[in-house]
Chain A
Amino acid sequence: EPEVTQTPSHQVTQMGQEVILRCVPISNHLYFYWYRQILGQKVEFLVSFYNNEISEKSEIFDDQFSVERPDGSNFTLKIRSTKLEDSAMYFCASNRGAQETQYFGPGTRLLVL
């Protein structure tokens, strides 16, 4: 069964550094998403992406964040200058159509020191 994959599984970085989190969505999917979950809190929507542009973003997704689909398979989330409060699990998701079921990856645990 096709799965969403994410790398790395864990990332430790220093405050102020840039990080890039990578996702490989399911191959025939067209809509891509990033969510995050701070430890002990709810899963929160960050951004959705379709046809090489952002279709929706939350208030969390400020200028420090960006997304890209650099090739036909990867979908990345970049945080330009990490803050302590960016420490969280980051989940990528994808679906074939906007109204179809979203499937999530296993997540990247980001720790900012």
Chain B
Amino acid sequence: KNEVEQSPQNLTAQEGEFITINCSYSVGISALHWLQQHPGGGIVSLFMLSSGKKKHGRLIATINIQEKHSSLHITASHPRDSAVYICAVNLLGGSQGNLIFGKGTKLSVKP
């Protein structure tokens, strides 16, 4: 059983749509990361959160520690948002060496 599950695996949206990507985990964590990987491969950190909600531009990340669930929302989606979004968690009591990654959600936004 994967300790970090993302859904959906693939998502196609029309430009302007509101998008939600989900991440569920089965272990105790100290922090959760949302990463973005563009075609061509580079990975960029979008958010790191341990509670509540964070917002950056059109991106919003939320986490519910009790329910072991996080969501990444994209408002007013744009084709440039097309990428793979990866959820990763730091194990409770662990270091950065104890990061566990989800398999990613591939998002395609059509114009």
Specify whether A and B are partners. Answer: no
User: Which residues from chain B sit less than 8 Å from chain A, CB to CB?
Assistant: none
